[in-house]
Chains A and B, each alone.
Chain A
Amino acid sequence: MSGSPPPALEVADLAVDLRSGGRTIRAVDGMSLTLDAGETLAIVGESGCGKSVTALAILRLLPQRIATMRASRLRLGGEDLVGLSEEEMRRLRGNRISMVFQEPMTSLNPVLSVGRQIIETIRTHRGLDRAAATAEALDLLRLVRIPDGERRLGQYPFEMSGGMRQRVMIAMAVACRPAVLLADEPTTALDVTVQAQILDLLQDLQRRIGTAMVLITHDLGVVAQSARRVVVMYAGRKVEEAPVGRLFADPRHPYTLGLLASMPRLGSSAAHGPRGRLREMSGSVPVMDGRIEGCPFAARCAHALDLCRRSAPEPVEIAPDHRVACWRAQERLEMAHGRV
């Protein structure tokens, strides 16, 4: 190995099966990603494309009764996670790798004070006594820009606004200065003005603590603002991966084209509608229950060939750091009549 430090997070060939009723659905299929120390990687895609499942699978938080996962490689800062026991995983969670969830309204425990919820995280992993952990919790509130921390620690989630709660969630997530932060739609449930503050806060924290971040979102505006690289997911698979600038300038997968086309023009105010929502694209994500042969996007794709319906394309590198899983990746495709 050369002298360069190992990536903060490495995932290769991650597959997750979810059982519901008598059916098994392949929620994530052959997902791979690499996250360098301190960088931000965005994962974008419509809801149901497997973004959140990917994050939960990395933390091993999927309910074991309905989910099975495997990966050829799962490393956190060079440490292999694949063979770890549940207890070893627990020690890493909230400590070296942590997660911020989408719903600040339901993700905090309603019957415990926020102080208690922050302090227990610190005490679990850092073995501080109550006084030291309380002092640390106050520092954390300051760090996530919650004023009047002393009073806030004694409050319950229902006494706080959505933005405040999300700051508390973030404070808990960064309490142990994790190497990796998985942020699952951290701003989606919030007011537009608060969204910007939270994104700003996340970036600021990342700079201060040196945490690498996986930012899961369906909002390309958020991506443009905060990420260095982007992974586009569709039906559980990675369809395109590129540095942010390149993705916006030269998207190659028809699905990425569709995402970009459904984004409001730059300069149009957010008040005119939800930014970058993908609903304007016709069709919806297919359910992956093993019946689909070929490219999962073929049914919605205006450029699909016979080949696309018969066999699924593998990701190919068409430029440095730019990989696309499309038979027509080498062409420059155009939008046609609202369809991709």
Chain B
Amino acid sequence: MLRYILKRLLMVVPVMGVVTVVVFVLSRVGPGDPVTIMLGEFATAEQIARTRTALGLDLPLPAQYFAWLAQTLQGNLGLSLFTRKPVLELIAQSAAPTVLLTLCAMVYAVLVAVPLGVLAAARAGSLVDRAVMAGAVLGFSTPVFVLGYILAYVFGLRLGLLPVQGFPGLEAGPVAVLRALTLPALAIGATFVALIARVTRASMLEVLNEDYIRTARAKGLRRPVVLLVHALKNAAVPVVTMIGIGFGILLSGVVVTESVFAIPGIGRLTVDAIFRRDFPVIQGVVLVMSAVYVLLNLLVDLSYMLFDPRIRY
């Protein structure tokens, strides 16, 4: 078990290695010489040369990469060009709404999608099944920010039920926070619902043809038990895998949706950085989000054994 976790962690190394190389390369080919940005336009050639040496910018690129990587691994993602604050600190400061939003979207999406997928599979070919599948295609096709505005229009402007802008801050209490997060979470989760409902249905359809499902029915078990215990537990691994893969879509969706609902999270930080050409912040966000994504997929791998006793690490 522990050995498997270690082995699996080792497999993360090349993946994150590629991610760091990509981010590093982007940071070097980006417009704007960091030294000029630091010293201003009127620095002397000698000042510039001295700063270059001090920053290690005169070393060959691989050496620069490893120096940068060493810094990064210590949590030093550089300074924001705009606020002059450490990037990691900025990310940490805006993480709370983003983490909450991601969790809400994920939990609601899974809670909606899995039952829909099970229902569609249990009644394959029926009207319910077709409706779920048609809804899934629509869910895939609606960009999260468009859905965000549609929801804001219907529930905010027309019905006046929920706030359409802003985030009150955690100190405002759970009710206010949840009200502010409801519409954005619904918007972000829609694609995820579509994705997971489809996979659940496909996986369930396969499992429902298995001999042991016939056995469960021959034993006179109630239909919900047959579907939710005997079938769903066997169908779970592809579903959980898709939850992990789809998490990337969720993270992308959060960044865009925060902008729609004016939520001061990591997405807002990113968009502000785009307008300010604040490259270290953009690169820091990409690095942190990719690491979160990779780690979540590691957790997904480990969770397989909760569903299938034959998988033992």
Contacts and interface: CB of A to CB of B under 8 A. Distances in A.
Interface of A: 56, 59, 61, 65, 90-95, 98-99, 101, 103, 106-113, 120-121, 124-125, 156, 158, 169, 172
A105 to B, nearest CB: 9
Given A61-B214, A65-B125, A106-B211, A112 B219 contact: no
A109 B273 CA distance: 53
Contacts of B308: 110-111
Interface string B213-229: 01111111111010001
A124 B221 contact: yes
A156 B219 contact: no
A64 to B, nearest CB: 11
B212 interface: yes
A61 B216 contact: no
A309 B265 CA distance: 82
Contacts of A120: 219, 221, 225
B220 A111 contact: no
Given A98-B219, A120-B225, A169-B215, A112 B210 contact: no
Given A90-B220, A91-B220, A112 B215 contact: no
B309 interface: yes
Contacts, number: 79
Interface in B99-138: 124-125
B310 interface: yes
A74 B74 CA distance: 76
A73 B225 CA distance: 31
Contact of A101 (B214, B309, B310): B214
A108 B218 contact: no
Contacts of A103: 211
B220 A95 contact: yes
Q: Which of B210, B219, B223, B230 has the most CB of A within 10 A?
A: B219
A108 B310 contact: no
A112 B125 CA distance: 29
Nearest 3 interchain pairs by C-beta: A93-B220, A94-B220, A94-B219
Given A65-B125, A156-B309, A158-B310, A109 B212 contact: yes
B155 to A, nearest CB: 40
| Chain B interface, >50% SS class | helix
Given A111-B234, A112-B233, A106 B210 contact: yes
Contacts of A92: 220
26 contacts: A65-B125, A90-B223, A93-B219, A95-B220, A98-B218, A101-B211, A101-B214, A101-B215, A106-B211, A107-B212, A108-B212, A109-B216, A109-B233, A109-B234, A110-B212, A110-B234, A110-B309, A111-B309, A112-B233, A120-B219, A121-B219, A124-B219, A124-B220, A156-B309, A158-B310, A169-B215
A158 B225 CA distance: 22
Contacts of B82: none
Contacts of A108: 212, 215
Contacts of B230: 109, 112
A106 B217 contact: no
A156 B310 contact: yes
A121 B220 contact: yes
A172 B219 CA distance: 8
A93 B225 CA distance: 15
B153 interface: no
B307 interface: yes
A183 to B, nearest CB: 12
B219 A111 contact: no
A111 B218 contact: no
Contacts of A95: 220
Nearest to A62: B214
A65 B121 CA distance: 13
Given A65-B125, A94-B218, 18 more contacts: A61-B214, A61-B217, A61-B218, A90-B220, A90-B223, A95-B220, A103-B211, A106-B210, A107-B212, A107-B214, A109-B212, A109-B230, A109-B233, A109-B234, A110-B309, A111-B233, A112-B229, A172-B215
Nearest to A156: B309
A151 to B, nearest CB: 15
A106 B222 contact: no
A61 B217 CA distance: 7
Contacts of A59: 218
Interface in B205-254: 210-212, 214-223, 225, 229-230, 233-234
A96 to B, nearest CB: 9
Contacts of A93: 217-220
A99 B216 CA distance: 11
Contacts of A65: 124-125
Given A65-B125, A158-B310, A106 B212 contact: yes
Contacts of B217: 61, 93
Contacts of B229: 112
Interface in B278-296: none
Given A65-B125, A156-B309, A107 B233 contact: no
A293 to B, nearest CB: 34
A65 B223 CA distance: 17
A250 to B, nearest CB: 36
B313 to A, nearest CB: 16
A216 to B, nearest CB: 14
A133 to B, nearest CB: 13
Q: Which of B212, B217, B225, B307 has the most CB of A within 10 A?
A: B212
A242 to B, nearest CB: 29
Contacts of A172: 215, 219
Nearest to A157: B212
Nearest to B221: A124
Contacts of A110: 212, 234, 308-310
Contacts of B216: 109
A189 to B, nearest CB: 11
Q: Which of B125, B220, B308, B310 has the most CB of A within 10 A?
A: B220
